[in-house]
Amino acid sequence: MRDNVSDMLVRIKNGQQAKLFEINLFNPVPKNCLQILNILYKEGYIRGFKKVFIYKKLYIKVLLKYDLNGNSVIKKIIRVSKPGRRIYTSIKSLWKIKSGLGIFIISTPKGILTDNDARILNTGGEIICYII
């Protein structure tokens, strides 16, 4: 069994520690990974992502983001729910990370959302990861 979400998060974390400007993701990329990348782009943690053909294979190129001093925008990216141990929560029992400086990414019945969007829609679900 392969955990594509963990693989994607580790590639992003390792790419930022190595000061890379872009990384390539595996083929085929699952729909939930694309939704997580879309959330990371909307929240300002990455510069973007695009589909690229390399040697007639489809890859996703993720453009990483750094501040003016060259430090990575993502300080920590931690996977919470794993295939061996799923973590579910209601929205009322979900806490704020660093007083609102970080975000949770939650898989809900209404799609993959940030914790702020889940609070607005008043829905809980599986905590995928959190980012500071």
CATH number of the domain that residue 68 is part of: 3.30.1370.30
Where is the domain boundary, 33, 49, 73? 73
- Owning domain of residue 43: 1-73
Where is the domain boundary, 73, 98, 114? 73
pTM for the structure as a whole = 0.92
Residue range 3-12, pLDDT digits in tens = 899 999 999 9
**Tokens standing for residue 114:** 């940030």
Phi, psi of 69 (to 5 degrees): -85, -5
Q: How far apart are CA 51 and CA 62, in angstroms?
A: 9
**Tokens standing for residue 131:** 């980012």
Residue range 67-118, pLDDT digits in tens = 999 999 999 999 999 999 999 999 899 888 888 789 999 999 999 999 999 9
**What is the CA angle 64-76-72, rounded to 5?**
35
The answer to whether residues 68 and 79 belong to one domain is: no
The answer to whether residues 64 and 51 belong to one domain is: yes
